[in-house]
C-alpha cells in the first residue's frame, strides 16, 4: 500500500494505526509526503541553532515511519503551502500552486514502481480544509487513475463520532472541550458516507509513539497525547476511510478486502 499525505505528522494522526496493522500483516507499506511541512507552527526553543523546520520534520517522519513498520518514505518535493489564505499558498514551489497533472504523474510513477494495490489519500475537503490536504485529494485521486490502482481510499474523520465524543466529554465536565458546533461540514464526513472502519486498538501504542515522534508539532502536553488511555482509545481506536467507487451500502473493516 502507498499512503499519501500532505506533511510529516499527518500520517500518524490520520492513518498511523492502519499503517502499523498493514505492516504487521506482512504488507509492504510505502509512505509519501507531498511536503516537508516547512511552514508548520513550532514553539520557541524546539529547534536547534540553525535547524530548519523542514529538516527537523523530515527526521521526525523517518522516526515515525520506523515505529509504524513503514518500508519506504518518499517526498514529492513540494513546499508546504501554509494555511488557507496565507501568502505561502501561491509561493513558488508550493504544493497548493502545483499543476495537478504534473504532481499526479510523479505519484503515479511511484505507484507503478511499487505495483501498489491500495492507495490512501484524503476526502475532498482534506478533512478540515487545509490547502495541502485538499491538494492531496486532487493529486492522489488522479494518480490512482493514471496508475490503475485497484483500491483508492479517502482517509477521513467520522464527524458524527467526534461530535458524540465531544458532547459526552462536556457532560462529564472535561475542561477545554471545544464547542460541538465547531465540528461542521468542513471536518471529516458524516458516518453514513464512510465505507471502511479499521479497528486499530491493537496498534494504539505504535500510533501514539508515531505521533510523539513528531515532537516539533505534537508535544507530550498536547490535546492529542495528554488524553488518558481510555479517551485515547475512544478517539483513535478506529480509523475511517471511504473507498472510491464502492457500491452503495459497502461496509468493510480492512483496506485489503477482496485483494488476492
Q: Among 57, 23, 24, which Cα is nearest to 39's?
A: 57
Q: Which helix (H) or strand (E) holds 153?
A: strand 151-156
Please tell me the distance from the alpha carbon of residue 88 to that of residue 197, in angstroms, as a whole number.
35
C-alpha to C-alpha distance for 82 and 70, rounded to whole angstroms: 27
- Tell me the DSSP string of 216-235: TTS-TTSTTTSS-HHHHHHH
CA distance 77 to 95: 9
pLDDT in tens, 12-27: 999 999 999 999 999 9
Half-sphere exposure of 118 (CA within 13 A, CB side): 24
Residue 57 to residue 54: CA distance in whole angstroms: 5
Q: Rounded mean pLDDT of the chain?
A: 93
- 8 Å CB contact between 2 and 119: yes
d(CA 250, CA 81): 35
C-alpha distances in angstroms, 158 versus 44, 163, 164, 165? 34, 9, 10, 11
Segment 144-176, tens digit of pLDDT: 999 999 999 999 999 988 888 878 776 766 666
Q: What is the pTM of this model?
A: 0.94
Q: pLDDT of 226-249, one tens digit each?
A: 888 888 898 899 999 999 999 999
CB 198 within 8 A of CB 170: no
Q: Strands 118-122, 2-5: parallel, antiparallel or unpaired by DSSP?
A: parallel
Q: Does domain 2-243 have CATH number 3.40.50.10320?
A: yes
Instruction: Over range 29-43, report the average pLDDT.
Output: 95
Amino acid at each position: 500500500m502507498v499512503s499519501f499525505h500532505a506533511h510529516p505528522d499527518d500520517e500518524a494522526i490520520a492513518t498511523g494505526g492502519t499503517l502499523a496493522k498493514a505492516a504487521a500483516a506482512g504488507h509492504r507499506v510505502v509512505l509519501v509526503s507531498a511536503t516537508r511541512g516547512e511552514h508548520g507552527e513550532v514553539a520557541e526553543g524546539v529547534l536547534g541553532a540553525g535547524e530548519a523546520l523542514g529538516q527537523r520534520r523530515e527526521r521526525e517522519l523517518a522516526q515515525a515511519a520506523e515505529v509504524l513498520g513503514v518500508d519506504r518514505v518518499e517526498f514529492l518535493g513540494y513546499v508546504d503551502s501554509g494555511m488557507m489564505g496565507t501568502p505561502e499558498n501561491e509561493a513558488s514551489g508550493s504544493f497548493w500552486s502545483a499543476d495537478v497533472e504534473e504532481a499526479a504523474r510523479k505519484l503515479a510513477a511511484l505507484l507503478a514502481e511499487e505495483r501498489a494495490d491500495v492507495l490512501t489519500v484524503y476526502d475532498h475537503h482534506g478533512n478540515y480544509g487545509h490547502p495541502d490536504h485538499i491538494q492531496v485529494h486532487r493529486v492522489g485521486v488522479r494518480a490512482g487513475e493514471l496508475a490503475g490502482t485497484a483500491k483508492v481510499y479517502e482517509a477521513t474523520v467520522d464527524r458524527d463520532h467526534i461530535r458524540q465524543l465531544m458532547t459526552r466529554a462536556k457532560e462529564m465536565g472535561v475542561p477545554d472541550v471545544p464547542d460541538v458546533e465547531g465540528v461542521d461540514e468542513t471536518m471529516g464526513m458524516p458516518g453514513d458516507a464512510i465505507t471502511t472502519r479499521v479497528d486499530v486498538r491493537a496498534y494504539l501504542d505504535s500510533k501514539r509513539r508515531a505521533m510523539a515522534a513528531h515532537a516539533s508539532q505534537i508535544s507530550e502536553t498536547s490535546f492529542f497525547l495528554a488524553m488518558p488511555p481510555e479517551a485515547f482509545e475512544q478517539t483513535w481506536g478506529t480509523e475511517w476511510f471511504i473507498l472510491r467507487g464502492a457500491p452503495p451500502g459497502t461496509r468493510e473493516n480492512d483496506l485489503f478486502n477482496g485483494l488476492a
